[in-house]
Structure 1
Amino acid sequence: MGVTIHYSGHLDDPAKLPELLLGVKRFCFKRGWACREVDERIIGQAERFMFNEVDVSGQLKDGALVDGKDVYYDTEAFDVDDHIRGLIIDVYPDCETVHLLFNRQGLLRGYDPQAPGYYTEQEYFFVKTQFAPIEVHIAICELLRFVKDNYMPGLKVTDEGWYWETGDREKLAMHLGFISDKMRELMETKLEEFKQFLSEKYGSDEPRIEMGKKIEVRDPPWKEDWGQSAGEN
């Protein structure tokens, strides 16, 4: 449950990457956003998530006809020698960072290290915004729109708040409000369940704090046999 912006895609011309990075830096500077550059060679082995569609059309035992597909998830490992360049952008403290990272072919790509020399490939990126003000969500959509219009016509964006698709601030606000209400209801429900558990187990809905045995503070053994004169020295 949340409000997330998903994006993926590629540069039509990888040679335009320096121009894109400069344009995004200027965009961030005007808004006071911190961004850091990434320029890293990735060598080793990586794991890639695979999405396989399987046709499940057919006839059931009761004679009913089924027409559809199932999606199965799998992984494959492969040797990698790639070069990642791009920007990681900090938009707001209560918002996830925006990653604009590209490989040699100009594809949006990331490699999350799992162990020395072993990575998980990231093809699809996302940023959660539900804990940030509505203006932050809109600003991230504006950033991605700037990238798409000027450098990446093939950029694909899906906005769970529907602002990217509609530009409708009211619809986004309603969705954010709905999510906040549901999360608050969930927290209240879980709190009541926890209180009920405490009441049934301990006879009270207040958490019990275990008190340990009182510790007697004593002088260390090497000091116990010293006399008064020793204490004065």
Structure 2
Amino acid sequence: MGISIHYKGKLNKPELVNDLINEMAAISKETEWEYELVDDKIQNIKGIITNPHKKCETFSLLFNKKLDLVSIASLSFETSNNKGLHVASIKTQYAPLEIHISIVKLLKHFKSKYIANMEVFDEV
């Protein structure tokens, strides 16, 4: 399995989606993490995916139409209604420790600003 961070929650308000995406895009530019904006009209999924390090899985902040955080795997299915996909994860096992710490700090920040009910399980 490896060292991973799992997280779930629901965005506080619909109007915060773009604010969170824009903030994460700015952070990605500043830290030189590659990123891609997601606006999938068929799946009704909107958000951002980033690549913090070449030895780390993709970090995703994706939301369905009900504002739930969903796994990047949701983009592979015809609908995002599968309840099992409402937990996102990132494996950081092979990346430098600083990357793992950065992700945890970002999730804590996003919890305080955008996703009040966010739950994070850090395997470290």
TM-score of the two chains, using structure 1 as the length reference = 0.48
Map residues 21-100 of structure 1 onto 2, 5 A cutoff.
21-42=21-42, 82-100=43-61
| Contact kept in structure 1, 2:57 and 2:90, CA below 8 Å | yes
Shift of 1:109: 2.1
Q: 2:99 aligns with which of 136, 147, 163?
A: 136
Match of 1:192 in 2: none
Bigger radius of gyration: 1
Higher share of residues assigned strand: 1
Amino acid at match of 1:144: L
Q: Percent identity?
A: 33
Per-residue CA deviations over 1:162-220 (Å, capped at 9, x if unaligned) read xxxxxxxxxxxxxxxxxxxxxxxxxxxxxxxxxxxxxxxxxxxxxxxxxxxxxxxxxxx
Amino acid at match of 2:16: K
Tell which has more relative contact order, 1 or 2 (C-alpha 8 A, sep 6+): 2
Amino acid at match of 2:52: V
- Distance in 1 between the 2:16 and 2:89 partners? 23
Match of 1:8 in 2: 8
Shift of 1:147: 1.0
Give the alignment's Cα RMSD to 1 decimal.
Answer: 1.8
Shift of the 112–22 alpha-carbon distance from structure 1 to 2, 3 Å rule, reads closer
Shift of the 103–120 alpha-carbon distance from structure 1 to 2, 3 Å rule, reads closer
Map residues 1-233 of structure 1 onto 2, 5 A cutoff.
1-42=1-42, 82-110=43-71, 111-113=74-76, 117=78, 121=82, 122-161=85-124
Amino acid at match of 2:51: D
State the number of aligned residues.
120
| Contact kept in structure 2, 1:4 and 1:160, CA below 8 Å | yes
| Contact kept in structure 2, 1:8 and 1:125, CA below 8 Å | yes
Match of 1:176 in 2: none
- Distance in 1 between the 2:120 and 2:88 partners? 10
7-16 vs 102-111, which moves further:
102-111
- Distance in 2 between the 1:158 and 1:119 partners? 22
Shift of 1:83: 1.0
Shift of 1:120: 8.0
- Distance in 2 between the 1:137 and 1:156 partners? 16
TM-score of the two chains, using structure 2 as the length reference = 0.87
Amino acid at match of 1:89: T
Give secondary structure in 2 for the equivalent of 1:14: coil
Give secondary structure in 2 for the equivalent of 1:104: coil
Shift of the 107–139 alpha-carbon distance from structure 1 to 2, 3 Å rule, reads same
Shift of 1:118: 6.7
| Contact kept in structure 1, 2:64 and 2:80, CA below 8 Å | no
